[in-house]
Amino acid sequence: MIGVANPYNLNCPSRDMLEFIGGKWTILILCRLHSGPARTGELMRDIGGISPKMLTQTLRELERNGFVERISHPEVPPRVEYRMTGLGVSLSDVVRAMEQWVVTNYPAILEQRARASRAA
């Protein structure tokens, strides 16, 4: 039987999921895939600063947890793309809201940082 998730409990495995979801690469990949399926090269191009190794590692973890699916097209040359699952879409809706919050509030955050620096 699976118990109730309690991320406040140090020993609850759901805490690892929050850490993974909160990772910058996870969030950026989910935001990008929210707009549609993408190949690895497209993700590399669209997500500045991510290394090929980190992209592969994060995509595998997203796939393992059921947030994205890897689609292999039987073509020559082989073509692989990643797209959101239903579970991934439900999570990306939350992540996209966070992204929009950052875009909206970033000027106020920068202003507060400047005030804090002047006060220090």
Q: Domain ranges in the chain? A: 14-119
Topology of domain 14-119 in CATH is Arc Repressor Mutant, subunit A (1.10.10)
Residue 68's φ and ψ, nearest 5 degrees, are -135, 160
Q: What is the pLDDT of residue 92?
A: 87
Q: Report the distance separating Cα 77 and Cα 39, nearest Å.
A: 13
Please check whether residue 24 is in contact with residue 49, taking contact to mean a CB–CB distance below 8 angstroms: no
Q: What is the pLDDT of residue 1?
A: 46
Q: What is the pLDDT of residue 2?
A: 61
Alpha-carbon torsion 53, 58, 64, 68, what sign?
Answer: negative
Q: Is the pLDDT of residue 10 over 90?
A: no
Q: Report the distance separating Cα 27 and Cα 88, nearest Å.
A: 11
Cα 17 off chain centre by: 12
pTM tops 0.95, yes or no:
no
Alpha-carbon torsion 69, 14, 24, 31, what sign?
Answer: positive
Q: Which residue has the higher pLDDT, 120 or 82?
A: 82
Q: Report the distance separating Cα 17 and Cα 26, nearest Å.
A: 11
